[in-house]
């Protein structure tokens, strides 16, 4: 099996706690447990870390591009304070059905590949908490890891519904993990990495 060289991370529900009312300011941004450690571990393994995130709140007028940029600047600064780095962040500010970048569209991933020409999608992993993340990754031929613990207290947004949606769509996952940290330890950096497991 080829070594993993790039990890594409969704943001809300993977790096930070998912909120049903959107993350519209830095005081609403809360890192999920051990997410910073997981990113640092990827850095130490010399695996590129790229964030690809749908930010529909911009299209809905709940968040400006400037505010989103500030949130990402703060996120990067806090990661840096723990020795962790994100190589690039791509976001889609559009509503559904009006662009090619909103996941499950793949334009954000292709932008990353244009910036980092050495990205090999067959050696890349998409880590996300939703069906749209998994659909995008499948279209690109990436390996797929679904995270089920998004940290959201609203049961309608819990990862279990995403697991059910992925099962219904018959998308084969390479791994199903509780958190980003578990995904890194159990699969991405595991010497005994398995090829395919169906979500529980």
**Which residues belong to the active site?**
10, 12
CA dihedral sign, ordered 76, 80, 82, 88: positive
């Amino acid at each position: 099996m080829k070594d993993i060289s790039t990890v594409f991370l969704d943001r809300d529900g993977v790096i930070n706690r998912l909120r049903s009312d959107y993350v519209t300011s830095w005081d609403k941004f809360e890192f999920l447990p051990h997410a910073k450690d997981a990113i640092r571990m990827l850095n130490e393994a010399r695996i590129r870390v790229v964030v690809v995130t749908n930010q529909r709140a911009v299209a809905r007028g709940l968040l400006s591009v400037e505010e989103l940029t500030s949130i990402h600047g703060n996120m990067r600064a806090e990661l840096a304070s723990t020795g962790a780095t994100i190589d690039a962040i791509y976001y889609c500010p559009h509503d559904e059905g009006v662009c090619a970048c909103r996941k499950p569209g793949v334009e954000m991933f292709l932008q990353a590949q244009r910036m980092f020409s050495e990205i090999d999608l067959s050696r890349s992993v998409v880590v996300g908490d939703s069906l749209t993340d998994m659909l995008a990754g499948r279209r690109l031929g990436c390996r797929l890891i679904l995270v089920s613990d998004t940290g959201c207290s609203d049961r309608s947004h819990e990862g279990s519904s995403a697991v059910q949606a992925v099962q219904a769509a018959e998308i084969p996952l390479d791994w199903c993990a509780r958190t980003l940290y578990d995904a890194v330890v159990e699969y991405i950096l595991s010497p005994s990495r398995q090829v395919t497991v169906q979500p529980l």
